[in-house]
Amino acid sequence: MAWVLKMDEVIESGLVHDFDASLSGIGQELGAGAYSMSDVLALPIFKQEDSSLPQENETKHPPFQYVMCAATSPAVKLYDETLTYLNQGQSYEIRMLDNRKAGDIPEINGKLVKSIIRVVFHDRRLQYTEHQQLEGWKWNRPGDRLLDLDIPMSVGVIDIKTNPSQLNAVEFLWDPTKCTSAFIQVHCISTEFTPRKHGGEKGVPFRIQVDTFKQTENGEYTDHLHSASCQIKVFKPKGADRKQKTDREKMEKRTAHEKEKYQPSYDTTVLTECSPWPDTPTTFVNNSPTPAPTFTSAQHNTYSVPDSNSSSPNHQGDGTSQGSGDQLHPSATIQETQQWLLKNRFSTYTRLFSNFSGADLLKLTREDLVQICGPADGIRLYNALKSRSIRPRLTIYVCQEPLRSIQLERQDTGNGESSNGAIYVYHAIYLEEMAASEVTRKLALAFNIPLHQINQVYRQGPTGIHILVSDQMVQNFQDESCFLFTTIKAENGEGFHIILK
């Protein structure tokens, strides 16, 4: 009865009428391709509303909204993130919507904003090795891009740019007051990044992320406004349609009680707010040539894979500090502290800590940070501030056996005569997990070998036999053992094996 009375009050106050009018306004604003009222009500952003939320939270809304015209999967648990299936190479519309209220961000009125759309890995494990994964994909698919913009179909996008070293990103300018649609094409499929390809592998999920910036006083689009993303899986042509049908048939076989645990499938996918991608502000700003394609911001010309302590998927460094470059030092200035927060994906709190130096931030206790940032981010920030390099459980030294044609001369000081010999340069491999998979992964990283190209790792035993490197064998390696290794092609011609000697 109380609920009925409240609804009567809402109706009498005219709020329902205002809501209906606002939806009609959206339809008029977007024109022929706009949502009908039933389409808007079907969007997942309107589900799971909680009337118990504080009134002040209702006023907090993003300045923009991005809607991808692709249906979400029905086989997703009620409180999990939506999952959308896409077909490889098919064009999908992303509608760029101005969601500002009157008076919000007036400085962009009458001006253009810049958006960067990218396809990235959803799994943190793959985010750590993004550079190697994308380089391996590029090696197998020369001349192709992971993400393209279908320019003839797109509406309202201006000054479109792609970077040869950023195969997974496109950028463009657009006017928030006009109807804007960007049609994207994803060319990589989810199973291309699974360890082995024998058929039937479960594909890895990706993310479609949109980061939007406004123009600064010096004319560069580096002032971050909004970021949002959604989870996707990409299949070979028509594969997404079959997968959607399979999920729908599975859900139809479930009981009514089981169906209540899953969210319905929506015709469109609303991208949800997220932190900006770490290297977005300067991805396309740097015009100076770089020695090699990189997947980092212009402030860093090299890429190194982070250690296990890193809290950022795009942790960057010089590859020699073993994680020490991640530490926030007490001598850090306010600007350096802000850069550290951004680099470690704490951009939400840069304004909150805008006057904090490194010493100020390090003085905060765990309880202080939990109270300021909440339990999840507070503990994560505390761990990032106090993190230390983990001492490896085992160290081995590995060298790739050089070819005779490129062996270097060295002097024999014993008798004054010179002789041709190989100079062996070893890489230190630090193991924490003591597993064969860790040896394979770190060999790939140390010698810049595409991980998915390595089929097996063997150790050469007595009489030249090849012994498969197992977890038990790794656990019995002597500390600071030295190995030479060579590579041989696999019998089926796909990939190769590594032989440790």
Structural domain boundaries in the chain = 62-271, 332-384, 392-402+423-498
Give the pLDDT of residue 200: 59
CATH architecture of residue range(s) 62-271: Sandwich (2.60)
Task: Find out whether 26 and 34 touch, Cβ atoms under 8 Å.
Answer: yes
Q: How far is CA 385 from its chain centroid?
A: 22
Q: How far apart are CA 442 and CA 432, in angstroms?
A: 11
* Residue 433 burial class via C-beta count within 10 angstroms: exposed 0-12, middle 13-18, buried 19 and up: middle
Give the pLDDT of residue 6: 42
Two tokens, residue 250: 């599975």
- E strands, 110-254, are 113-121, 147-149, 157-163, 166-174, 180-186, 206-214, 223-235
Q: What is the CATH topology of the domain spanning 392-402+423-498?
A: Ubiquitin-like (UB roll) (3.10.20)
Asked whether residue 83 carries a pLDDT value surpassing 70, the answer given is yes
Q: How far apart are CA 343 and CA 9, in angstroms?
A: 48
Average confidence score pLDDT of the chain: 75
Q: How far apart are CA 259 and CA 283, in angstroms?
A: 44
Asked whether residue 375 carries a pLDDT value surpassing 50, the answer given is yes
Instruction: Assign 45 a pLDDT band (cuts: 50, 70, 90).
Output: very low
Give the pLDDT of residue 60: 63
Instruction: Assign 195 a pLDDT band (cuts: 50, 70, 90).
Output: low
Q: How far apart are CA 109 and CA 226, in angstroms?
A: 16
- For the entire predicted model, the pTM comes to 0.48
Two tokens, residue 222: 């580096």
Who wins on pLDDT, 202 or 4?
202
| Strand, coil or helix: 326 | helix
* Residues 93-123 pLDDT 10s: 999 999 888 888 888 888 999 999 999 998 8
Q: Which of 35-49, 110-124, 398-412, 419-433 has the lowest mean pLDDT?
A: 35-49
344-358 mean pLDDT: 83
